Amino acid sequence: MDSAFITNLILASVRMATPLIFLSLAELYSQRAGLVHIGLEGLAAIGSLAGFLVSLITGNPLLGVLAGAAVGILVNMIYAYATINLCAEQIVYGMAINIFAPALAAFIYRVYFGAGSELVQVGLMTTLSGLLGIASDNFLVRLLLDQTPMVYLAYSLVIFTAVYFNKTKSGLNYKAVGEYPKAAATLGISVVGVKYAASVICGALAGIGGAYLTTCYSTTYTDGNVAGRGFIALAAVIFGRWSAGGVLLACLFFGFCDALQIRLQVGSYGIPYQFFQMIPYIATVVVLTVIGMKKAGPKGVGKPYLREER
């Protein structure tokens, strides 16, 4: 391994961690309001297609990202209504989103392009260095400037989330809903309102995480391009101990594992590439096995809120 390999690995880790950050923050906001959402994979899949189609039609990747957020919110309202209003089982409806949304995305893609269509590609979002016209081989310059605006947005959201949950009254009220909703309701906090707000935020961030894959990472859309990132994001929230800073570190770790397996596939090591593809998922299992049960999440997570029982 030479210095160029390590440099490119670090830069790739930052980029690969970005969709995980969006998805993990989506889960964090959802769980902090008492909603465990395992449907991130489905929300990211439909957001990925929406981002791809809108970017292709308009030629503007930013509009594609906004479309991914909008579609993510729309689909997540199914989950929100079922789990908040009908008090349905959250795990069941999260899995239903994982089945429904990717299938809907695949159906729309085939209807729009046809079953035997050629591979369609779109232009990716320009990096900050490209916008500024800066070209440099310096590692710090590439790390700080050779990134798309979505990378800066993801890391800014981590800072905002940390401040919001720990330093603001609204954030503390938000967390109270996930810890003990009945007590929060007695203090005048709208539990249902917070849960719906969490569902909107979760849907938007998960949709953006999916749209990132087709507007900033890959030039085309393919079935299964989310590749388990939604489930890795669930592990990142547990690994990060339900805190914004912890989630960031967890996403950087998993992003590093993902970037590493891609670069190991390129090398001539005489090992089947499928072995390297397992690295992020093995890391996820190991992390959950070692630290997954040492601390529970919000006490009210996964439990339906029945207003008449207050």
Could you give the percent of the chain with pLDDT greater than 90? 64
189, two tokens: 């906090």
Residues 8-63: tens digit of each pLDDT: 889 989 999 999 999 999 999 999 999 999 999 999 999 999 999 999 999 999 99
User: How far apart are alpha carbons 217 and 123 in whole angstroms?
Assistant: 10
Helix (H) or strand (E) holding 16, with range, is: helix 3-32
- Report DSSP letters for 199-254, one per residue: HHHHHHHHHHHHHHIIIII-SS--TTTTTTHHHHHHHHHHHTTT-HHHHHHHHHHH
Domain layout of the chain by residue ranges: 3-297
What residue type is 117 in one-letter code?
Answer: S
Tens-place pLDDT, residues 225-268: 998 899 999 989 988 989 999 999 999 999 999 888 888 877 65
Alpha-carbon span 244 to 284, nearest angstrom: 18
Decide if pLDDT at 309 tops 60: no
CATH classification code of 3-297: 1.10.3470
Other Cβ atoms within 10 Å of 297 Cβ, number: 18
Res 102 pLDDT > 90: yes
Q: How far apart are CA 115 and CA 239, in angstroms?
A: 41
Phi-psi region of 17 (alpha: psi -120 to 50; beta: other; left: phi over 0): alpha
pTM for this structure?
0.93
136 token code pair: 């440099």
Report the 10 Å Cβ neighbour count for 21.
Answer: 28
* pLDDT, mean over the chain: 90
